[in-house]
Amino acid sequence: MAPPSLISLLAILSLAVLACFFAASPVDALATNLHHIRDVPAIGHGAMARRKRATSTDAQRCKQRPSSSSSSSPTPKSTTPKAKPSPSTHSTAKKPASTPSPSLSGKAGKGKIGLAWANGNSVSMKPFVNDQVQFVYTWTPSKPSDSDSLGLTFLPMLWGPNQVGDFKNLVKKGYATSVMGFNEPEQPGQSNISPETGAQLWKEYIQPLENEGYTNLISPATSSAPAGFTWMQDWYKACNGGCRPNLMAAHYYDISADGLITYLEHWHNTFHLDMLLTEFACQNFNNPNQQCTEADIQKFVEAVVEFANNTEWMVAIMPFGAMHQMQGVNQLDQLMASNGQPTALWQKFVNP
Write down the pTM of the prediction.
0.76
Domains of the chain with bracketed CATH: 110-350 (3.20.20.80)
CB atoms within 10 A of CB 272: 12
Provide the CA 241 distance to its chain's centre, in angstroms: 24
Closest CA relative to residue 88, chosen from 233, 270, 246 = 270
For 240-291, the pLDDT digits (tens) are 999 999 999 999 999 999 999 999 999 999 999 999 999 999 999 999 899 9
Res 110: pLDDT: 72
Closest CA relative to residue 47, chosen from 198, 56, 330, 137 = 56
Residue percentage of the chain with pLDDT more than 90:
67
Give yes or no for residue 36 having a pLDDT over 90: no
For 51-80, the pLDDT digits (tens) are 333 322 233 334 333 333 333 334 444 444
Closest CA relative to residue 114, chosen from 149, 78, 150, 79 = 150
Closest CA relative to residue 54, chosen from 280, 329, 321, 279 = 329
Residue 165 has φ and ψ, to the nearest 5°, of -60, -50
Give yes or no for residue 199 having a pLDDT over 90: yes
> What mean pLDDT, rounded, does the chain reach?
79
Residue 208 has φ and ψ, to the nearest 5°, of -60, -20
State which of 34-43, 100-109, 281-290 shows the largest mean pLDDT: 281-290
Give yes or no for residue 156 having a pLDDT over 80: yes
Rounded Cα–Cα distance for residues 142 and 166 (Å): 8
SS (H, E, C) 180-200: ECCECCCCCCCCCCCHHHHHH
